[in-house]
């Protein structure tokens, strides 16, 4: 990338800490500006980043010292910040989902294409050794022809641990739009794009109680469906059954299983970068762990942005994020209308990630030993 690529961060909530741990001090990038609706928070974060300035949001989006905007705002703000960055000629990389609605997300990509700037989007956990090792096994033919998959995410809700969980239960939130991107992005890596969906959904509680922080005990309204399930029809004919829920306590189901003609594959939690990949071949009596064979070792939030900025990367790109978002919003529409919904988008399956040691992607190989 030559000179360090200049990053401006908008949104300094909980997830920003993980990104900054990865990006601050990386030789390929430099955080030059930060912005948040809370000016005091912005000033405090900037004080801990040599060379970074605390700016108002509009000033950061137009700053000549920013090449790419890292958008870590709440979902309903994703499109507005992304469009603001694009209109100032900036690349933008954002947290998932790409936008709160499919129409907004499509507008972001259309304007970015017209402006000649790039759009990237989380999740980047799927670029770690867990999902990438599983993908390598599928592509090597270890399970035979893939025929089906299951994906399950069940939690009692993020209000138990997040001090300000309101956005999880408003437009752009809910278990599907919040956690679904990890699962659907992984499934596209494993099985390819989706052509149609059938969904069902429910909202089992009208309120949630914040469980931690200064607002503990406060009740917040639930404005979105909190249990969503459905079937994904992949282009290759494989069928995935999907469940995402904020209405359960726990589950023993594997996060993702892929079933082929000759074996089944257990894939670790796609909200993590690593985890054990297990294979159960036809005729075997037990599951066996597969050795790590692909992905960014010791992956961390922000590796997708580094990949996005690299010459041969761009695996966490806007086209894939748009397709994932359409699949999710189509599931919700299918649930509301009681019918099968065909998708209007597709996406290329990103290039696989070769096994990449942490010292390499963190830039220590070029910078010398730590």
Nearest to 328 by CA among 238, 225, 250, 257: 225
25 by Cβ neighbours in 10 Å (0-12 / 13-18 / 19+) ranks as middle
Q: At a CB cut-off of 8 Å and minimum separation 6, what does 127 contact?
A: 273, 295, 296, 299, 303, 304, 307, 315, 316, 353
* Count of other CB atoms within 10 angstroms of residue 233: 17
Stretch (H or E) spanning 233:
strand 227-234
Asked if 125 and 271 touch (Cβ cutoff 8 Å), the reply is yes
d(CA 25, CA 36): 21
At residue 31, what are phi and psi to the nearest 5 degrees?
A: -80, 110
Dmax (CA) of the chain: 63
Nearest to 182 by CA among 97, 112, 287, 245: 97
* Count of other CB atoms within 10 angstroms of residue 348: 12
Asked if 148 and 259 touch (Cβ cutoff 8 Å), the reply is yes
194 by Cβ neighbours in 10 Å (0-12 / 13-18 / 19+) ranks as buried
> Between the CA of residue 368 and those of 52, 53, 311, what are the distances in Å?
24, 28, 21
φ/ψ region of 314 (left if φ > 0, alpha if ψ in -120 to 50, else beta) reads: left
Say which of 90, 96, 301, 362 is annotated catalytic: 96
Q: Got the DSSP string for 271-340? A: TSS----EEEETT-SS-EEPPP-BSBTT--TTHHHHHHHSTT---SBHHHHHHHHHHHHHHHHHHHHTS-
- DSSP 8-state class, residue 356: B
Whether 90 is catalytic: no
Q: Which residues are catalytic?
A: 96
């Amino acid at each position: 990338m030559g000179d360090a690529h200049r990053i401006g961060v908008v949104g300094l909530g909980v997830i920003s800490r993980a990104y900054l741990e990865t990006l601050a001090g990386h030789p390929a990038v430099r955080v030059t500006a930060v912005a948040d609706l809370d000016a005091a928070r912005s000033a405090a974060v900037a004080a801990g980043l040599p060379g970074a300035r605390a700016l108002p949001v509009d000033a950061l989006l137009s700053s000549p010292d920013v090449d790419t905007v890292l958008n870590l705002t709440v979902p309903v703000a994703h499109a507005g910040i992304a469009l603001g960055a694009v209109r100032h000629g900036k690349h933008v990389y954002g947290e998932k989902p790409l936008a709160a609605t499919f129409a907004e997300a499509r507008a972001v990509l259309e304007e970015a294409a017209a402006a000649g700037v790039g759009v990237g989007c989380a999740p980047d956990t799927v670029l770690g050794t867990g999902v990438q090792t599983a993908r390598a096994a599928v592509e090597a033919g270890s399970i035979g022809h893939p025929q089906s998959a299951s994906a399950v995410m069940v939690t009692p809700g993020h209000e138990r641990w997040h001090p300000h969980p309101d956005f999880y239960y408003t437009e752009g939130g809910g278990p599907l739009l919040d956690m679904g991107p990890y699962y659907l992005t992984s499934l596209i890596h494993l099985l390819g794009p989706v052509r149609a969906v059938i969904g069902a959904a429910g909202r089992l509680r009208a309120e949630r109680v914040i469980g931690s922080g200064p607002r503990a005990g406060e009740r917040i309204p639930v404005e979105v469906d909190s249990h969503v399930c459905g079937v994904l029809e992949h282009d290759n004919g494989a069928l995935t059954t999907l469940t995402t829920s904020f209405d359960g306590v726990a589950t023993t189901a594997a996060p993702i299983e892929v079933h082929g003609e000759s074996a089944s594959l257990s894939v670790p939690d796609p909200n993590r970068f690593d985890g054990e990949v297990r294979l159960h071949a036809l005729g075997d009596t037990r599951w066996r762990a597969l050795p790590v064979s692909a992905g960014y070792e010791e992956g961390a939030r922000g590796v997708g942005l580094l990949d996005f900025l690299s010459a041969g990367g761009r695996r966490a790109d806007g086209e894939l994020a748009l397709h994932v978002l359409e699949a999710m919003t189509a599931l919700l529409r299918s649930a509301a209308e009681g019918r099968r919904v065909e998708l209007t988008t597709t996406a290329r399956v990103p290039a696989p990630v070769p096994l990449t040691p942490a010292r390499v992607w963190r830039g220590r190989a070029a910078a010398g030993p730590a």
